[in-house]
Amino acid sequence: MLSEKLASALNNQIQVEAISSQVYLAMASWAEVQGLEGVASFMYEQSDEERLHMLKLVKFVNERGGHAVVSELKAPKSDFGTFKDMFQELFEHELKVSASINELVHTALEEKDYATHNFLQWYVAEQIEEEAVARTILDKINLIGNDKGGLYLFDRDIKQLTVETAANDNPK
């Protein structure tokens, strides 16, 4: 059974994951109208993944005797300036999500809820991977600079981007 404090914290994380899905969706739409089909495809996939993260939390809260709450979301912005600005924003967003997950893990330990702590370890590992992917993308963008040919190749290749992290159970 979840404590009220932990149920509230988990519901907050449900909202964080929903916001993440919306942010990625907005980025996908922006990239698509910019002619960046590869980036758009990557972002649509990320949006779907974040929604699955949210659903996993919803089911967990309900299975543990809590009540997962679907909250209202503020619309994300729809213009991201440049694709470099967009990926910088994505990276900063992932850092915020990681901080939120870490705070949630801390709350689980404070509440001595080791089942929730164990469940959250998947999210901790996932965030290591999310940050690594965002950092790798930014590194590649910085290598490209203002080279239009490099941007074309980046857009084409991002669909296949994989990053091996220490947290990966099955390196790609």
**DSSP labels for 119-136?**
HHHHHHHHHHHHHHHHHH
Report the distance separating Cα 165 and Cα 58, nearest Å: 27
Please tell me what DSSP assigns to residue 145. T
Is 17 marked as binding a ligand? yes
Is 50 marked as binding a ligand? yes
Is 94 marked as binding a ligand? yes
Report the distance separating Cα 109 and Cα 26, nearest Å: 35
Exposure string of 65-87, with b = 16+ CB inside 10 Å and e = fewer, is: ebebeeeeeeebeeebeebbebb
Exposure string of 17-30, with b = 16+ CB inside 10 Å and e = fewer, is: bbbbbbbbbbbbbb
The Cβ-side half-sphere exposure at 58, using a 13 Å CA radius, reads 13
Annotated binding site for Fe cation, which residues? 17, 50, 53, 94, 127
**Residues of the binding site:** 17, 50, 53, 94, 127
